Amino acid sequence: MVTAYCVKCRAKREMQNPMRIVMKNNKPATKGTCPVCGTKMFRIGG
């Protein structure tokens, strides 16, 4: 699983439904949701 920082919970959590994406500058990133509050999470890097 991928961990990322949730801004709403103010804690690091494992992403729910992580999806690999490519940003506009062709760098990899991961998008998902927080399992506790449902807020969108984002992590830069592969």
Give the DSSP letter of residue 41: E
From first CA to last CA, the distance across the chain in angstroms is 13
pLDDT greater than 80 at residue 42? yes
pLDDT of residue 1: 84
Look at residues 27, 34, 28 and name the one whose alpha carbon lies nearest to residue 3.
34
What is the tens place of the pLDDT at every residue in 17-41? 999 999 999 999 999 999 999 999 9
Q: Is the pLDDT of residue 46 over 80?
A: no
pTM (global) more than 0.95: no
Angle made by CA atoms 7, 11, 12, in degrees to the nearest 5 = 105
- Spatial separation of the C-alpha atoms in residues 3 and 17, rounded to whole Å: 12
